Amino acid sequence: MITLFGTLGPACARREVLRPMMAAGMDGVRLNLSHTTLKQSAPWLEELQAAAALEGVSPLLLVDLQGPELRLGELKEPLELRSGSRMVLGKEGLEVPECLLPHLEKGQQVLLDDGKVLLVVEMAAEGGAICRVEREGVVQSRKSVALPGVEVDSPALTAADLGNISLAKEFRVGGVMQPFVRGPQDLRALRMALQAVNAPDIKIYAKLENRRGIAQLESLLPEADEMVIARGDLGNAYPLWELIGVQKEAAALCRAAAKPFMVVTQMLASMEHSPVPTRAEVSDIFNAVLDGASSLMVTGETAVGHYPVEVMDYLAKTAAQALRWKGEHQA
């Protein structure tokens, strides 16, 4: 069996949408806490519980913490960046975490929103930098920031993370995703935080999103209940043409250790705007199952996409067909 996760968001957080998603095969739900809190999400979670009760199912609620991920500050409105234009990062410009500022040297690449937008530093100054837009796009509040080739130290758990962890049992959380795991100490910190609020049974999902996590994978395996091959930021840490090789190697290590693993990010990305996926996306899902994935997850496809029910239908049917094929051909 494979657990299929959708992501809760404005596109699907109503029982009349969640019920057919569950009927299609969704048996897990992710809530991204990078932009909200468990308390603020209470209306969505009430809809989730109501839909589950009506369907007679108990989907696993998985919360995705902020962790050490680096994000932009708040913007008054989305900002459209055009190729060749200039953008100031830091003081009097686009707000970025202070820990990034010393690393904004001339020539340094800056990836925004999982790499959708690419900047290059042209001039660094105290408290900020002037960057040239190399790959244009629209930037919104609280989107991710990454500096390829640079590892920035920050705490494993933020104050907001600890606040959400303290409410995990109250909101029936079944699993916690730790982003940007850098070593076993990050997962031990999360385990201790869960124990401190009397929630030791909540499962820990370790997200592989950087080179340090991949290098430390074998030491992470005993500390996590499930590994997560999170290809969004992992695709910022490695060139995209190397990414799938990294995914395959991580999957093989997990299989060898009998450690469950999840594959996530852009599995059905085209379905945010289309009722039908691409052949490449279906192939991606199929191959993740053949590689031994225990869970699959979609994110923006259900959170903000136009076809959340259709997304779950294609995800479930493709995963089921892959399992059948695997049983017939790889017995």
Residues 6+ apart with CB under 8 A from 44: 8, 13, 31
Same domain, 215 and 84: no
Average pLDDT value for residue range 38-52? 98
CA distances to 180, 210, 217, 246, 294 from 259, in Å: 19, 19, 11, 17, 9
Number of domains making up the chain:
2
168 lies in some domain: yes
- Given this model, what pLDDT does residue 193 score? 97
For residues 175 and 325, give the distance between their C-alpha atoms in angstroms, rounded to a whole number: 30
- What secondary structure letter does DSSP report for 297? E
Task: pLDDT band for 331, please (50, 70, 90 cuts).
Answer: low
Same domain, 60 and 95: no
Same domain, 167 and 125: no
Q: Last residue of a domain, which of 126, 146, 166?
A: 146
Residue 124: which H helix or E strand, with range?
strand 117-125
- Given this model, what pLDDT does residue 223 score? 98
15-24 and 308-329 helices, crossing angle to 10°: 10
Which range among 76-80, 127-131, 203-207 has the greatest average pLDDT? 203-207
- Given this model, what pLDDT does residue 156 score? 85
**Over 80: is that where the pLDDT of 151 sits?**
no
**Over 80: is that where the pLDDT of 179 sits?**
yes
The per-residue pLDDT for range 97-121, each reduced to its tens digit, is 888 888 999 999 999 988 889 999 9
Residue 188: which H helix or E strand, with range?
helix 184-196
- CATH number of the CATH domain containing 294: 3.20.20.60
CA distances to 133, 146, 279, 302 from 63, in Å: 33, 22, 30, 15
Does residue 29 contact residue 299 with C-beta atoms inside 8 Å?
A: no
Q: List, as one string, the DSSP characters of 55-96.
A: HT--PEEEEE--TT--B----SS-EEE-TT-EEEEETTSB--
73 lies in some domain: no
Same domain, 301 and 187: yes
What is the CA 245 to chain-centroid distance, rounded? 19
Structure tokens at 179: 């982003």
Same domain, 265 and 171: yes
50 lies in some domain: yes
Same domain, 311 and 179: yes
Mean pLDDT rounded to a whole number for the chain: 94
- Given this model, what pLDDT does residue 330 score? 78
Same domain, 95 and 215: no
CA distances to 97, 213, 284, 302, 307 from 11, in Å: 30, 32, 24, 6, 8
**Over 90: is that where the pLDDT of 148 sits?**
no
**Over 80: is that where the pLDDT of 69 sits?**
no
Average pLDDT value for residue range 183-199? 97
- Given this model, what pLDDT does residue 34 score? 87
For residues 73 and 144, give the distance between their C-alpha atoms in angstroms, rounded to a whole number: 10
- CATH number of the CATH domain containing 128: 2.40.33.10
74 lies in some domain: no
Phi and psi angles of residue 122, each rounded to the nearest 5 degrees, phi first: -100, -35
Residues 6+ apart with CB under 8 A from 134: 83, 109, 118, 119, 120
Average pLDDT value for residue range 26-32? 98
pLDDT > 70: percent of the chain: 99
Average pLDDT value for residue range 24-32? 98
Task: pLDDT band for 3, please (50, 70, 90 cuts).
Answer: very high
Taking the CA atoms of 258, 262, 263 and 268 in sequence, report the sign of the dihedral they define. Answer: positive
The residues with which 227 forms a beta bridge, in sequence order, are 206, 261
Checking DSSP bridges between strand 60-64 and strand 175-178, what pairing results, if any? parallel
Same domain, 212 and 301: yes
For residues 201 and 168, give the distance between their C-alpha atoms in angstroms, rounded to a whole number: 11
Same domain, 253 and 307: yes
In 3-state terms the chain splits into helix, strand, coil percentages (rounded to 5) of 40, 20, 40
The per-residue pLDDT for range 275-306, each reduced to its tens digit, is 999 999 999 999 999 999 999 999 999 999 99
For residues 266 and 276, give the distance between their C-alpha atoms in angstroms, rounded to a whole number: 14
Q: Which domain holds residue 187?
A: 3-68+155-329
Same domain, 249 and 101: no
Same domain, 142 and 46: no
Same domain, 180 and 310: yes
Burial 3-15 (b: 16+ CB within 10 A, else e): bbbbbbbebbbeb
